[in-house]
Amino acid sequence: MRLAQEADLDLVEVAPTARPPVCKLMDYGKFKYESDQKRREARKNQVQTVIKEMKLRPKIDPHDYETKKGHVVRFLKAGDKVKITIMFRGREQSRPELGIRLLQRLSTDVAELGYVEAQPKQDGRNMTMVMAPHKGARTLRTPEPAGTV
Q: For residue 88, what are the contacts with CB-CB under 8 A and spacing of at least 6?
A: 58, 95, 96, 99, 125, 126, 127
pLDDT for 54: 94
Domains parsed from the chain with CATH numbers? 2-44 (3.10.20.80), 51-133 (3.30.110.10)
Give the chain's mean pLDDT.
87
Does pLDDT of 6 surpass 90?
A: no
Please give the pLDDT value at position 130: 95
Taking every pair of Cα atoms in the chain, the longest distance, rounded to a whole number of angstroms, is: 85
Is 61 in contact with 43 (CB distance < 8 Å)? no
- Helix, strand or coil, per DSSP, at residue 19: coil
Tens digit of pLDDT for each residue in 14-49? 888 888 888 888 888 998 999 999 999 888 887 777
pTM of the model: 0.61
pLDDT tens-digit profile of 82-128?
999 999 999 988 989 999 999 999 999 999 989 999 899 998 899 99
Q: Mind listing the pLDDT tens digit for each residue in 127-149?
A: 999 999 988 655 545 455 555 54
Contacts of 9 (CB under 8 A, 6+ apart): 25, 26, 27
What's residue 60's pLDDT? 92
DSSP string across 34-70 = HHHHHHHHHHHTPPPP-EEEEEE-SS--HHHHHHHHH
Asked if 82 and 53 count as a contact pair (C-beta separation under 8 A), the reply is yes
Q: What residue type is 86 in one-letter code? A: I
Query: Are 84 and 117 within 8 A, CB to CB?
Result: no
pLDDT at 51 over 60: yes
DSSP code at position 91: G
